[in-house]
Chains A and B, each alone.
Chain A
């Protein structure tokens, strides 16, 4: 048993939902009790999706447990298939259903449907979300392609030459609730296309089961997010001989390395090598004298494996920071993160406990934190600027603007996102220097170290000013007491409105009743 106050990853079936929701023409029947539908809001609220995730929850209750829950599963499968007419059906269970062992996948397979059925067994008591997503994508790929495996025929990365067309690749791994996946895909497709390489299929994001069956039309696979796609890439390599890339194109060096790797695998000559250095503004911005102050900035990094490793490399080699801490919550990526940490002479922190991360952050005394939304909160408490580089997703991590992490534009975004909080840090310093000047009023602070304004300050703040129009009005004890109960962020407005109302009505003393009279008057 593990005491958990907050978790970086959800359970594995949420990973399966990420795959199902990323794709078209797929439906996922999840044997689960009521309440597990909470996961829908991750997609509809955080990702602002305009469609419900394609998931049917069997919604079994305590009273069903004595009876036939298997019948309930079959009823839900039947209804879901009739209603949604998926091309492929995923069937699985959440943590509680795993305990009652109805084997919904086997039940579905016995129902005589024509469509492919993927039986998902995702151990909820030992695995987590990213593993669940990876396993689901792998099982889906395997189910849809296993009949096409031929022991004698392997896909050569050079096949495009024989076929007399441009080389084709698949981009594998982008999914909903993945960090900036939507924009990374556009950026990577653009880069490949510039090099004369076509994208065959992007999956799971936006793909249908038909697209999965078409994966073998490409020469190689781009493993864009190994947390999700490596297992599938490995299976495709083993069974079809398809090579896949290892470099994650985050940062300038890695993007160039990635382009090199793709060219090498495809045996495609790289003609614009020199241009590549200048595709992004990051190298010059980093070199410009204004960036001198970035040298040796102490940076603490924590996130998923892929983004944490990439961030460490960019921080050290492209921005000239000093990495003072590196860690991940992805146990599956622990080995790689440890290796990177060793190169940087720091000890890797592998944990799912955010309080441990906060402690490590405190000890490392960084000047910048690159982390998840949780590290943003921890850093805020410690008064350290922070930029978010990794899942778990927050509504702010799905910006309206084009905002990739990968490729040239990704490097531009990273430069701005990491450096601007530091600028704010400088601003903070200036504010500190000038805060005794009369121009600076309470509340004039940057986003750091901001504390909630208390009622006493609000009640007294006017007294400092000349020509107080509210002079002569007295707040009674009940009025003051009532005002303290108003949430701090609207307290100032409530006070002003109540006083305005009191003046209007010629009320000399503001009681709690006046406050409510005013509230009614202005609503």
Chain B
């Protein structure tokens, strides 16, 4: 392991909670509905984080707790029953309904597992109910997906068939590319989790080899292990290097030669390197500060340093699972400063002191930093854009080079803001 500096920080945080992941999860599984049991804050959070108004009736919503629900718990269960009945009557096409716990529902100890169990009996054969928590007191941003996937595992049937299981939400086009490449490598039985339809869950067992596409799935990984799955240890498929190592690790697990892998992916690597060139020109030697949010930060830092030659000032992450991240950490340059957790004020002090060329941060901080003359990239775009794989390496670099390029065009560094 490279000599990486680990730090922990606590204090006020500027991050999203796990409910935010509903924004991409509901798009991944169009036959599922996500019902948050929470407050008006939860409802407002999801609609604000999604950043858009709704263009039709959405497949997520909030059962907003009211004062009368807080008075007695028995009431809350009945009320939730009523809301679910209304919802299913209105949306009969829904096949899976996720009951999503929130900060208030966790604090009043609303037992969503029991509610889900009862509803499963009542709607047997029509709708499946699963529950997980996306609360801010337990989860940060992408951990919501970890919770949702973990909640689906008990529904998965067992099978000893040998297969490659890609775990973590990917953009559909990226997923298709990956599957094609794996087929070319000679791996034919490939499935994804989460699937594109919530009812088409892959079967798993001792011959299932799990390849993670996202770094934030600690709990899911643990439960997949319990079900006998083999977890392939690899960096994550961001950038050329990460993707190459990722394909190699998968190939090794399926006893496919390295030579074969190189034969298949070299043309991809060559054109990706070509495409990366113009971005590298801009990013090279620029100093980068990553604030914590998505848990993608370590992989992004590795890509931006190793392939785009950026200098790393600080790599923040909301949570660090050293075991899951060991292959990534190994690829980081020596003396990389990783900070787990956040004290947003102290961290912003460090941002200002270090005078970075680019800061990766949440939307609440981006414009204030821009107003101070510091270029930023919003981290939420990383989870909404297709950035995985060799063919997307230049697009990924482009997310970071664009603000710098823009900054070069608009030369004035400090503007009066209104």
Contacts and interface: CB of A to CB of B under 8 A. Distances in A.
A79 B343 CA distance: 11
A35 interface: yes
Contacts of A2: 63-64, 66, 83
Given A7-B47, A56-B12, A95-B39, A62 B137 contact: yes
Which has the most chain A C-beta neighbours within 10 Å: B19, B48, B370, B418?
Answer: B48
A123 B41 CA distance: 12
A14 B180 CA distance: 48
A5 B54 contact: yes
Nearest to B14: A37
B53 interface: yes
Given A51-B368, A394-B53, A1 B87 contact: no
Contacts of A37: 13-16, 362, 364
B137 A96 contact: yes
B121 interface: no
Contacts of B83: 1-3
Contact of B17 (A14, A35, A377, A381): A35
B398 interface: yes
A3 B87 contact: yes
A44 B364 contact: yes
A34 B140 contact: yes
Interface residues of A, number: 69
Given A35-B15, A62-B138, A516-B391, A41 B80 contact: no
Nearest to A75: B11
Given A7-B47, A51-B417, A33 B17 contact: yes
A94 B67 CA distance: 14
Given A44-B363, A59-B12, A377-B54, A95 B40 contact: yes
A24 B258 CA distance: 63
Interface in A40-64: 40-42, 44-45, 48-52, 56-62, 64
Given A48-B367, A95-B39, A34 B44 contact: no
Contacts of A56: 12, 345
Interface in B366-403: 366-368, 370-371, 391, 394-395, 398
A1 B80 contact: yes
Which has the most chain A C-beta neighbours within 10 Å: B135, B140, B364, B417?
Answer: B364
Nearest to B19: A35
B54 A125 contact: no
B324 interface: no
A52 B368 contact: yes
A489 interface: no
B105 to A, nearest CB: 9
B85 to A, nearest CB: 10
Contacts of B39: 11, 95-96, 124-125
B278 interface: yes
Interface string A488-523: 000000000000000000000000100011011101
A38 interface: yes
B56 interface: yes
Contacts of B17: 33-36
Secondary structure of the B contact surface, majority rule: helix
Contact of B76 (A1, A13, A59, A516): A1
A100 interface: yes
Given A49-B367, A65-B107, A96-B137, A517 B48 contact: no
Given A3-B83, A34-B140, A516-B271, A377 B67 contact: no
B204 interface: no
Contacts of A210: none
B391 A520 contact: yes
A3 B61 contact: yes
A128 interface: yes
B40 A35 contact: no
A280 interface: no
Contacts of B12: 56-59, 76
Nearest to A126: B67
Interface in B48-93: 48-49, 51, 53-58, 60-67, 69-70, 76, 79-80, 82-83, 86-87
Contact of B66 (A57, A125, A377): A125
Given A4-B63, A519-B391, A520-B271, 14 more contacts: A3-B87, A5-B57, A5-B58, A6-B53, A34-B140, A35-B18, A39-B44, A45-B367, A52-B365, A59-B13, A62-B135, A96-B107, A182-B418, A516-B268
Interface of A: 1-7, 9-11, 13-14, 33-42, 44-45, 48-52, 56-62, 64-65, 76, 79, 83, 94-96, 99-100, 123-126, 128, 182, 355, 373-374, 376-377, 381, 394, 482, 485-486, 512, 516-517, 519-521, 523
24 contacts: A1-B37, A1-B64, A1-B66, A2-B83, A6-B53, A7-B40, A9-B40, A13-B41, A35-B103, A48-B417, A51-B368, A52-B368, A57-B13, A57-B14, A83-B345, A95-B40, A99-B104, A126-B66, A128-B40, A355-B57, A485-B173, A516-B391, A520-B271, A521-B271
